[in-house]
């Protein structure tokens, strides 16, 4: 999802909406994709009603929750190290309870309680509404587990508590789960069947964010293009729905329309798109609305048709090129990013060259690149031998990363001399005298603050760049402000 902010700590929660009268303290940390980050905001909201305010101090927490990622083995190792840290703190503070949320909770279930004895609470991604009961169990001295996956839960009725927020951009989740079954991927097992959230609740949340001063939203789903609302229910059962439900269904392009029209001064982003599910009407909706950002995260995973097939990615390299051509035809300045996996089982040097040549064709603006990591329970984990030696995987990954850096620089260099619209998000990390914000294409832009403020749209003339950042000077306010 734009993107896995791979295996890094998202940071601890800030005390944002400290609810008066709440006396207990929750320390919540998220790893992995943006969906986890967004889920932690739902968890914080559920627990605010149970007397918990968030804290950024581990030592003073009554309850420590870690929202976990299983996507690669390294992600799980990182979480295990954090669990050791929490337990060290717990030694000093025996009243403290520790809980695991998210994909690792779902994957490892009771194992966490039985074998490792390092957690009190295990809660899967669809069971967060059960947290109040589970916490009661724990307070009464029992371990508590709920890893039941749901066919309906979308948390559409919960107003998230915005954690670690700059007050400018927010995530809004629109689907949960994934039905695609890419053979390498653990997500369909840890997050269950795909469900879409009621469009009315999505628009309501976006309107509320606008009222609170937010200027940019990212619609989140494992596969946003397959969003489909027809009164509830799973996408796979759509054909069985009544004629009326089918006729009034809302697909992703229509949802984009609804949101873009509801808040025309708000930037709309979305993530993640899947080439096999993305349709022309989505690209047309992007082209039609100025407030939908010109950026698509369109993971491909490999440039080889043979490997794509083995991954159960249901498109060919040629079809992917066709999609890229269509995007660039309708939105010439659209930025495109990718996810790529190096060293999938049986990948040959020729397959790897196909990946490099695909990248050469697209010249991606950004990329998220990984060495294949075998995940227990997935089709690839069960059926294919992880036969590309670690050294070869690493070398191929390095080649992919180096090529990506070259293309990123090519893309940022094309921006130099142009004047682009930037939404100011925060102070630059390197200099307090400069603002940082992103252009429509999602590239960070740094420029002197002058009298501009966070949350304003400004037109910035780009003067210089690195492969990841643009530098310039603000010339005027953008019409998006008015
Ligand atoms: N559709 C999801 C994909 C989640 S996983 C989304 O919204 O982003 C994110 C990325 O991790 C995938 O696109 C893939 O490139 C990578 N990934 C998934 N499983 C992997 C594995 N077993 N080994 C290495 N990389 C993997
Ligand atoms: Fe995973 Fe493929 Fe879905 S990468 S999240 S199974 S689209």
Pocket of ligand 2 from Cβ distances under 6 Å: 178, 180-182, 185, 187-188, 222-223, 274
What does the pLDDT read at residue 243?
85
> Ligand 1, closest atom to CA 185?
19
| Residue 9: per-residue pLDDT | 35
Ligand 1 centre distance from Cα of residue 185 (Å): 6
Whether residue 88 has pLDDT greater than 60: yes
Residue in the block written with tokens 């940082």? 436
Distance 177 CA to ligand 2 centre (A): 9
The CA distance from 383 to 355, in Å, is 23
Query: In CATH terms, are 4-146 and 294-411 the same topology?
Result: no
Token readout for 393 is: 């995987």
Domain boundaries along the sequence of the chain: 4-146, 166-292, 294-411, 419-481
For a ligand 2 pocket test, name from 188, 276, 377, 380 the mutation site with the most ligand atoms within 8 angstroms of its C-beta: 188
Q: What is the pLDDT of residues 185-240, one digit of tens each?
A: 999 999 999 999 999 999 999 999 999 999 999 999 999 999 999 887 777 788 88
CATH 3.30.497.10 describes domain 166-292: no
Would the pLDDT of 370 be above 90? yes
Q: Using an 8 Å Cβ cutoff, are 467 and 367 in contact?
A: no
Q: Which percentage of the chain shows pLDDT scores above 70?
A: 95
CB neighbours of 313 closer than 8 A, spacing ≥ 6? 182, 275, 276, 300, 301, 302
Judged by its nearest atom, the ligand closest to the C-alpha of residue 300 is 1
pLDDT at 118: 82
What's the Cα-to-Cα distance from 265 to each of 42, 296, 391, rounded to whole Å? 26, 20, 49
Report the nearest-CA residue for atom 2 of ligand 2.
Answer: 182
pLDDT (mean) for 307-314: 97
Ligand nearest to C-alpha 177: 2
Is CATH 3.40.50.12160 what the domain over 4-146 is classified as, yes or no? yes
pLDDT given at position 237? 82
Closest among 168, 238, 174 to 201, alpha carbons compared: 174
- Between the CA of 378 and the centroid of ligand 2 the distance, in Å, is 11
Which pLDDT does position 18 carry in this prediction?
Answer: 55
How many Cα atoms within 13 Å fall on the side-chain side of residue 230? 20
Q: Whose CA is nearest to atom 10 of ligand 1?
A: 339
CA–centroid distance, 188 to ligand 2, in Å, is 7
Q: Give yes or no for residue 418 having a pLDDT over 50.
A: yes
pLDDT attached to residue 165: 84
Task: Show the tokens assigned to 404.
Answer: 């990506």
pLDDT at 34: 93
Ligand closest to 277 (CA) is 2
Atom of ligand 2 nearest to the CA of 299: 4
**Which residue, 311, 319, 377, 376, is CA-closest to 340?**
311
Atom of ligand 1 nearest to the CA of 274: 1
Domain 419-481 has CATH 2.40.50.140: yes
Q: How confident is the model at residue 271 (pLDDT cuts 50, 70, 90)?
A: very high
- pLDDT-based confidence at 12, cuts 50/70/90? very low
Average pLDDT over residues 449-466: 98
pLDDT for the residue 470: 98
Q: Whose CA is nearest to atom 1 of ligand 2?
A: 185
CB of 104 sitting under 6 A from ligand 1: no
Encode pLDDT of 330-347 as tens digits.
999 999 999 999 999 999
Identify the helix (H) or strand (E) that includes residue 99: strand 97-102
Please name the residue ranges forming H helices in 68-140: 73-92, 103-108, 111, 131-139
**Which residue among 125, 222, 277, 299 is best mutated to probe the pocket of ligand 2, counting the most ligand atoms within 8 A of its Cβ?**
222
Atom of ligand 1 nearest to the CA of 373: 23
Dist. CA 119–CA 65, nearest whole Å:
10
Statement: residue 376 has pLDDT above 90: yes
pLDDT of residue 15: 36
Ligand 1 pocket, residue 230 CB under 6 Å: no
Distance 134 CA to ligand 2 centre (A): 30
- How far is 460 from 449, CA to CA, in rounded Å? 11
Q: Per-residue confidence at 116, pLDDT binned at 50, 70, 90?
A: low
Using pLDDT thresholds of 50, 70 and 90, give the confidence band for residue 1: very low
294-411 is a CATH 3.30.750.200 domain = yes
């Amino acid at each position: 999802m734009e993107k896995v902010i791979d295996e890094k700590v998202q940071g601890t929660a800030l005390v944002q909406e400290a609810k008066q009268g709440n006396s207990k303290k929750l320390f919540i940390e998220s790893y992995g994709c943006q969906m986890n980050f967004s889920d932690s905001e739902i968890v914080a909201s559920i627990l605010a009603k149970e007397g918990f305010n968030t804290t950024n101090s581990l030592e003073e927490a009554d309850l420590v929750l870690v929202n976990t990622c299983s996507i690669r083995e390294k992600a799980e190792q990182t979480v295990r190290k954090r669990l050791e840290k929490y337990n060290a703190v717990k030694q000093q503070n025996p009243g403290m309870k520790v809980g695991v949320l998210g994909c690792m909770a779902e994957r490892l279930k009771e194992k966490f309680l039985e074998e490792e004895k390092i957690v009190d609470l295990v809660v899967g991604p669809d069971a967060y509404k059960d947290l109040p009961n589970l916490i009661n169990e724990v307070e009464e001295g029992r371990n508590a587990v709920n890893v039941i996956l749901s066919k309906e839960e979308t948390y559409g009725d919960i107003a998230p508590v915005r954690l670690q927020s700059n007050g400018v951009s927010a995530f809004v989740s629109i689907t949960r789960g994934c039905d695609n079954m890419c053979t390498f991927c653990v997500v369909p097992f840890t997050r269950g069947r795909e469900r879409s959230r009621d469009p009315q609740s999505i628009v309501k949340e976006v309107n509320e964010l606008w009222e609170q001063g937010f200027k940019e939203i990212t619609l989140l789903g494992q596969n946003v293009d397959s969003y489909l609302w027809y009164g509830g229910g799973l996408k796979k059962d759509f054909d069985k729905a009544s004629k009326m439900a089918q006729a009034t269904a809302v697909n992703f392009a229509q949802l984009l329309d609804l949101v873009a029209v509801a808040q025309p001064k708000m930037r709309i982003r979305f993530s993640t798109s899947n080439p096999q599910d993305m349709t022309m009407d989505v690209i047309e909706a992007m082209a039609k609305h100025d407030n939908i950002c010109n950026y698509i995260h369109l993971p491909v995973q490999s440039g080889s048709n043979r490997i794509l097939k083995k991954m159960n990615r249901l498109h060919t390299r040629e079809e992917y090129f066709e999609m890229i051509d269509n995007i660039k035809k309708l939105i010439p300045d659209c930025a495109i990013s990718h996810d790529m996996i190096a060293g999938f089982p049986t990948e040959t040097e020729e397959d790897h060259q196909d990946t490099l040549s695909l990248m050469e064709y697209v010249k991606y603006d950004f990329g998220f690149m990984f060495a294949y990591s075998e995940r227990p329970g997935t089709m690839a984990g069960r059926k294919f031998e992880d036969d590309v030696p670690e050294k070869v995987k690493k070398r191929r990954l390095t080649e992919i990363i180096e090529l990506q850096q070259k293309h990123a620089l090519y893309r940022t260099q094309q921006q130099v001399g142009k004047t682009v619209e930037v939404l100011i998000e925060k102070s630059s990390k390197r200099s307090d005298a400069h603002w940082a914000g992103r252009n429509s294409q999602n590239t960070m832009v740094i420029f002197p603050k002058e009298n501009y403020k966070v949350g304003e749209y400004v037109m910035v003339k780009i003067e210089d760049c690195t492969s990841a950042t643009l530098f310039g000077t603000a010339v005027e306010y953008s019409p998006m402000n008015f």
